[in-house]
Structure 1
Amino acid sequence: MSNFIDTIREKAALYKLEKQLKKSPRNKKVHNLKTAQTAGILYDATQESNFLIVKELIRELKDNDIKPEALGFINKAKRDDNYIGDSTYSFACRKDFSFFYNIKKEAIQAFVDKPFNLLIVLVTEQPFAIDYLGQLSKAEFKVGKAGLDNELYDLMIELNANADVAELKKQITFYLNLLNNN
């Protein structure tokens, strides 16, 4: 029964999302690690090990003079006390969305509305909320794992079936360094 309800919720949210995206399309522009000045990172913070990988990515982005911000989605009804945000890190959980995935938290809406040069979606399996936030993002160039949502990404990274988030981060930074932006 719960799976049926989740399917209905997601279909309604996607319908609303489609209408919203038609009203305000994003400006697309190719960026690499040399041309980008800002970067947003969406990731699954349910597993704490992903946070360490995001910290490493943020350090690499700062080394490239890119101002990063990360939004971690915790696939739980409520955040634990060990998830404290600041100007670089913010967190969302299921209670931060309405039944049909309307955003209820200002920090999440601000992240989505920010026109980042890069949006890095650092997940190997994509919860609906991360896909939804990625679609809503006004980022100019979106990067993530191939096969999750082909309409979301401008650059898709193909990985082996058993690859983890650390491997995805490694491949994304490799290809963003390699990408020639004339």
Structure 2
Amino acid sequence: MSNFISKIRERIALYKLDKQLKKEPRNKRLHNLKTASTAGIIYDATEEANHQIVKELIKELNEENITSEALGFIDKKKRDDNYIGDNTYSFACRGDFSFFYAIKQESIQTFIDKPFNLLFVLVNEQPFAVDYLGQLSKAEFKAGKAGLDNDLYDFMIELKADKGISELKKQIIHYLKLLNNN
């Protein structure tokens, strides 16, 4: 029964999302590491190891003179005390969304509304809330793992099942360095 309710909930959320995206389309633009000045990162913060990978990514982007912010999604009803946000990091959990996935947290809405040049979605599996956040993002160029949501990404990396987000991060950076934006 719970699965049935989840499906209906997601369908209604997708309907509302589709209406919102039609009303407020984003500006798509190709970016590489030379043309981007801002980046957003959405990642799975449920695993502590992923937070370290995102720290490394932010450091790499800073070396390229790209200002970054990260939004970590914790796939739990409530955040633990060890998830404290600042100017660079903010966190979301299932409790930060209404029943139909409307955003209830102002810091999450602020992140989504920023027109980042690049958006990295660093997840192996994509919970509905992460897909929803990625779709709503006003980022100009979105990159992530192939096979999760082909409508979300402008640039996708195909990875073997045993590879994690560390490899995904590495491959996205590698190809963004190669990408020529003439």
TM range (shorter): over 0.9
- 1:110 corresponding residue in structure 2: 110
Q: Deviations over 1:57-83 (max 9, x none)?
A: 000000100000000000001000000
Q: Distance in 2 between matches of 1:125 and 1:144?
A: 11
What letter corresponds to residue 151 of structure 2 in structure 1? E
What letter corresponds to residue 63 of structure 2 in structure 1? D
- 1:83 corresponding residue in structure 2: 83
What letter corresponds to residue 137 of structure 1 in structure 2? S
**1:142 aligned to 2:125?**
no
What letter corresponds to residue 181 of structure 2 in structure 1? N
What letter corresponds to residue 158 of structure 2 in structure 1? E
Could you tell me how far 1:181 is from its partner in structure 2? Answer: 0.6
- 1:28 corresponding residue in structure 2: 28
Q: Distance in 2 between matches of 1:145 and 1:128?
A: 15
Q: Distance in 2 between matches of 1:168 and 1:79?
A: 25
Classify the secondary structure of the residue corresponding to 2:71.
strand
Q: Distance in 2 between matches of 1:113 and 1:92?
A: 15
Give 5+ residue unaligned stretches, structure 1.
Answer: none
Could you tell me how far 1:179 is from its partner in structure 2? Answer: 0.6
**1:163 aligned to 2:159?**
no
Q: Distance in 1 between matches of 2:58 and 2:77?
A: 27
Q: Distance in 2 between matches of 1:128 and 1:55?
A: 24
What letter corresponds to residue 52 of structure 1 in structure 2? Q
**1:71 aligned to 2:66?**
no
Q: Distance in 2 between matches of 1:44 and 1:2?
A: 23
Q: Distance in 1 between matches of 2:101 and 2:14?
A: 9
Classify the secondary structure of the residue corresponding to 1:156.
strand
- 1:133 corresponding residue in structure 2: 133
What is the alpha-carbon root mean square deviation over aligned residues?
0.6
Q: Which moved more, 1:80-89 or 1:154-163?
A: 154-163
Could you tell me how far 1:87 is from its partner in structure 2? Answer: 0.3
Give 5+ residue unaligned stretches, structure 2.
Answer: none
TM-score norm. by structure 2 comes to 0.99
TM-score norm. by structure 1 comes to 0.99
Runs of 4+ in 1 over 2 A off after TM superposition: none
Classify the secondary structure of the residue corresponding to 1:169.
helix
Q: Deviations over 1:22-54 (max 9, x none)?
A: 001000000011110000000010111100000
- 2:172 corresponding residue in structure 1: 172
Q: Distance in 2 between matches of 1:67 and 1:40?
A: 9
Could you tell me how far 1:106 is from its partner in structure 2? Answer: 0.4
